[in-house]
Amino acid sequence: MSSVVTVNRDLQAEKRAAATAFRAELTRRGIFCVNLISSPGAGKTTLLQATARFWPKPEKLAVLVGDIATDRDAERLAPYLTVRQLTTGGACHLDLKLVERGFDELNLDGVEYLFVENIGNLVCPASHDLGEHLRVVVLSVTEGDDKPAKYPKAFRTSQACVVSKVDLMPYVPFDLQAATQDARSIQPDMPILPVCATTGSGLAEWCEFLRDRRTKALAEHVRDDLSHRLDEQRMPHP
């Protein structure tokens, strides 16, 4: 026997509000959060290892790394930076509650950048706001240049695209211009960052991009906070 239960609550609105509140908390603490999404094996963990090696002060970086099973990615990242594995036990994406739990368990003293490596999947993670400031879709050249058009939501909800494994371009049929064009037909002005995590090519541009976005996000917060306080001062006292 089945029955219908009327909830009368907009659950999506509640999830959006929770993600917005988490983002505000991160901003208040000066932590810029980057959600990396991609197909399995596109190179997210290798990119994070290379980023930590390249970053002048890797102690300012931390990672929450998601996987369906095992903590192998956390083992790979642990020699380079503060990391906590999030294991979903089968779920194909990370959700905000799991990220918040991982966040509470990390020592984030002095951390300025929190990366969230999502589950390798170009579909489900696109629908979940984890409270990040920046969503980056990683597209490896071995996947084919047709992926932006075939998985538009991943590209529509991301604010930048890292094209990974560019060292393999001579060996695979990947047209960077075609991929860029498709990505920008979905998301105009999408920054495209070609990177090879194994040789380090493109890492300087990637790291500079992250610094720039963090500075802008924090400046926006200071501006909003200031105008909020000025508005309060202008309010007539009761």
Q: Give the footprint of ligand GTP on this chain (CB under 6 A).
A: 38, 40-46, 73, 120, 164-165, 167-168, 196-198
CB of 40 to ligand GTP, least distance (A): 4
85: partner contacted, choices Mg ion, ligand GTP, none (Cβ within 5-8 A by kind) = none
Q: Beta strand 134-140 with 32-38: parallel, antiparallel or unpaired?
A: parallel
**Cα-based torsion angle of the residue sequence 184, 188, 190, 191 in order, rounded to the nearest 10 degrees:** 100
Other Cβ atoms closer than 10 A to 183: 27
In contact, 126 and 92? CB cutoff 8 Å: no
The answer to whether 132 and 34 have CB atoms below 8 angstroms apart is yes
Tokens of 56: 């002048």
CB of 43 to Mg ion, least distance (A): 8
Q: Which of ligand GTP, Mg ion, none has residue 30 at its interface (CB below 5 to 8 Å by kind)?
A: none
Compute the least distance from the CB of residue 229 to Mg ion, in Å.
42
Backbone angles phi, psi at 66, to 5 degrees: -100, 140
Q: Residue 98 Cβ, how far from ligand GTP at the closest point, in Å?
A: 16
Give the one entry of ligand GTP, Mg ion, none that residue 91 binds, where binding means its C-beta sits below a cut-off of 5 to 8 angstroms depending on kind: none
Q: Taking the complex as a whole, how short is the minimal distance between the CB of residue 73 and Mg ion, in angstroms?
A: 4
**Cβ closest to ligand GTP, residue 150 vs residue 216:** 150
Distance CA 237, CA 233 (A): 9
Selection from ligand GTP, Mg ion, none that 134 binds (CB < 5 to 8 A by kind) is none
40 binds, among ligand GTP, Mg ion, none (CB under 5 to 8 A by kind): ligand GTP
- Contact status, residue 121 vs residue 44, Cβ threshold 8 Å: no
Q: Which residues bind Mg ion (CB under 5 A)?
A: 44-45, 73
